[in-house]
Chain A
Amino acid sequence: MEQVIVNALYLGSQYAMIALGLTLIFALMNVLNFAHGQMYVLGGFVTYTIYGRLGFPFIVALLGTAVTLAIVGALIEYFLFRPVIRRSVREESTMLLAAGIAFLLDAVILLVFGEKQRGVPKILDGVFNWDFRIILPYDRILVCVLAIMSIAGFIAFMQFTKTGRALRAFAQDRVAAELMGVNVDRYSMIGFALGAMLAGLVGGLLVTITGVNLGMGGPVSIKAFMMVMIGGAGVISGAIAGGFILGALEAVGLAVLSQYGDITYLLIFASLMVFLSFRPQGLMGKPWG
C-alpha cells in the first residue's frame, strides 16, 4: 500500500511537470502543442549528450537542457506560430502547424541523435528500503524531489515575479492584458519558451531512469493531453492536479490490475469518458477554455 502511494507520487510529479508546460502554452496562445512529447524527447537527448557523452555534471546538463529547450521554444514561437496565428482565421490551423512541428522535431532528432535507445549512467546508486514496505532507488527519489522543486519554483515564478504576473494576466484575458500595457508578443514568446523548457527538463530528469528514444514522444503527448483533460485546459492548478491524479491511477492500476494484463489505460480512458460526461471542462477548467 505504501509502495503504491510512493509510486503515485513519483509518477505524478513527472506528469504534473509535463502537463504544466502544455497547459501554459494552451492558456497563453490557445495552441494545442502536439510537439510537446517531442520536446520532452529532445530534452532527454540534450541531457544525454551533455551528461552521458561529454561527461559534465548532471546539474550542468539539466541547466543546459533548460536553456536549449527554452531557445528552441522561443524560436518556434517567433518564426512559426506567430505568423500563422496572426493570419489564420481558424484555430485548427495552429493544430496543423503543431502537428507539422512534431513531425519536424521527430525528423531532426532522428537525423541528429539516431533511432537507438540511449541511456546514461546512474546519478545515484543504492536503493532506499524501509522495512520492505517502501522500496525505491535513490535516483528515483532524487528525480521526484527535483521535479517537485521545479514545480514549486515554477509556481513561485508565476506568483511573485513581474513576468509571472504578466503571464497570468495574459492567460486570463488577452485583450485586457494588452490594454494594461503587457507586451503580448514578448510574453507569448516567454510563455512558449517556458513550456518547452518544462517539457525538456522532465525529459532530462527521466533520461537517467528510463533512458530516451525517438518513439517516446507520441505517448508522452497523449498522456499530457489526458492530464490536461482531467484537470481542465489552461489552468495551472488543474494541470498539477491532473498530473498527480493520472500518476495515482497508473500506480494503482499497475499494482491491482497487473494480473489481468495491461488494461489500465482502457479503464482510465473509460472513467475519463464518464467523468467528462459530468464535467466536460475538467476539474478546474473554464467552460470551453
Chain B
Amino acid sequence: MNTFKINQLIGVAIFLFSVFVAVPYAIAASGRWDFYYTLTSVALLSIASAGVWLTFYIGRINIGQGAFALIGGYVSAILVTKAGLSFWLTLPLAGLFCAFIAVLIGLPILRLRGVYFAMVTLVLTEVSRLTMLALPITNGAKGIVSIPLPGALSIFGLTLIPDFSMLKNDKLAFYYVACVLMVICFAGMYRLVNSRFGHLCRSLQQNEELASSIGVNIAYLRIVVFAISSFLGGIGGAMFVAISQSIYPSSFQVSDSINFMLNCFLGGLGYVFGPMLGTLTLYFGWSLLFELGKYQLLIYSSLLIFLMLVLPNGLLSIRFSKMKGVQK
C-alpha cells in the first residue's frame, strides 16, 4: 500500500488538476459564481467528516463533530474579534483547543462503545449549543457577527496569502484555501491510515480486547484518534466562520452532527476518500432537491430510508471499483 502505483499518481494528478484548474475555469466560463460557495462548503464539511471517519476507523460512531466545529468556530471568532489575532493564527489554535477538549471529554467517554458512545457524543452536540447560548463571552443567541475577513499572511516579508478584504474575488480565494486545506487533510489521512498507526487503529476496530492483549496501548490510541478527529472538526468550523463572517449557537447543531456521520456512511467507511465523495453527493443532492421547495426534506429523507432498505449495509456494500482509481 505504501508504494504509489502509476495509476494512483495519475489519479491524484487528475484530481488536483480538476480541483485547482478545471473547476475555477468552468465556473468562470459558465458564470455560476454561487458554485464557489457550494464547493467551498463541501471542501470544509468533508474535512470535518474526515474526522468522523477517523473515529469510525477505530470502531466508534461519532455524532459529536458538530460540537467541535461549533467550538472551533467560536474560538476563532472570539480570538479574532476580542483579542485581535490574525485569522491564520487562530485557525490552528481553534483546532488545538478542540483537540484539548476532546482529550478531556474523551478520557471518560471513549471507554463506551457502540450505541452508548453515539448517544454521549450526540448529547455533547446539544450541550455545546446550549453552552454557547449561555456563556457571556459568546454573546448568546445574537452570536458574533461582522467578523473581519482574514488578513494577509506573510513570513519574512514574503506575502504568502494576500489580505482577503483587498481581493476583488474573495470567493475564489476562499475556494482555494478550503481546497488546499482539504487536500492537506486527506493526504495526511491517507498517510496516517497507511502507517503503523493506521494498522493499530484497524486492530481496535476489529477487537479491542485482542489488540490490548498483544500489547497495543488502546487507551492512548483512542484518545489520539479522537483528538485528531476533533482537531479536524475545529479547523473546519473555524474556516466556515471566516467565510460566513458570523457564528451563532445554531451554526452547527444536532442535524449537522448527524449529517457528518451520514457523509461518512454514504462515501463508504472503507475508503479514506469516502467522506469527500459522501459530502459531495449529499450536499449536492440536498441542494438539487431545493427546487422542490417544501417537499425537499420529505424526498430527501425518503431517499435516505429507501437507500437503507435497499442497501442496509450502506453504500460501502457496493464496490467503487471503477471510481477507486480516480480517487486514489
Contact = CB atoms under 8 A, between A and B. Distances in A.
A56 interface: no
A50 B105 CA distance: 45
Contacts of B301: 100-101, 103-104, 106-107
**Interface range for A:** 35 or more
Contact of A92 (B61, B105, B119, B135): B61
Given A93-B312, A104-B305, A277 B115 contact: no
B36 interface: no
A127 interface: no
A80 B134 CA distance: 39
Interface string A72-102: 0000000010011001111111011101110
A229 B312 contact: no
A228 B61 CA distance: 17
Interface in B285-328: 294-295, 297-298, 300-302, 304-305, 308-309, 312-314
A218 B255 contact: yes
B116 interface: yes
A95 B118 contact: yes
A111 B294 contact: yes
A229 B112 CA distance: 11
Interface in A56-83: 80, 83
Interface residues of B, number: 46
Main secondary structure of the interface of A (DSSP, over half): helix
B113 interface: yes
Contacts of A80: 305, 308-309
Given A90-B313, A277-B107, A233 B115 contact: yes
Interface stretch (B125-133, B162-170, B192-200): B125-133
Contact of B308 (A26, A96, A222): A96
Given A263-B131, A276-B120, A107 B297 contact: yes
Contacts of B298: 104, 107-108, 111
A100 B300 CA distance: 9
A257 B314 CA distance: 45
B108 A276 contact: yes
B293 to A, nearest CB: 11
Main secondary structure of the interface of B (DSSP, over half): helix
Interface stretch (A135-143, A190-198, A266-274): A266-274
Interface string A1-39: 000000000000000000000000010001010100000
B133 A262 contact: yes
B114 interface: yes
A1 B7 CA distance: 73
A280 B112 contact: yes
Contact of B108 (A89, A100, A263, A274): A274
Contact of B304 (A100, A273, A274): A100
B305 A93 contact: no
Contacts of B243: none
A176 interface: no
A110 interface: yes
B109 A103 contact: no
A235 interface: no
A55 interface: no
B315 to A, nearest CB: 11
B308 A269 contact: no
Interface string A239-283: 000000000000000000000011101100100111011001100
A228 B119 contact: yes
Most buried by B among A92, A95, A280: A92
B298 to A, nearest CB: 4
A218 B254 CA distance: 8
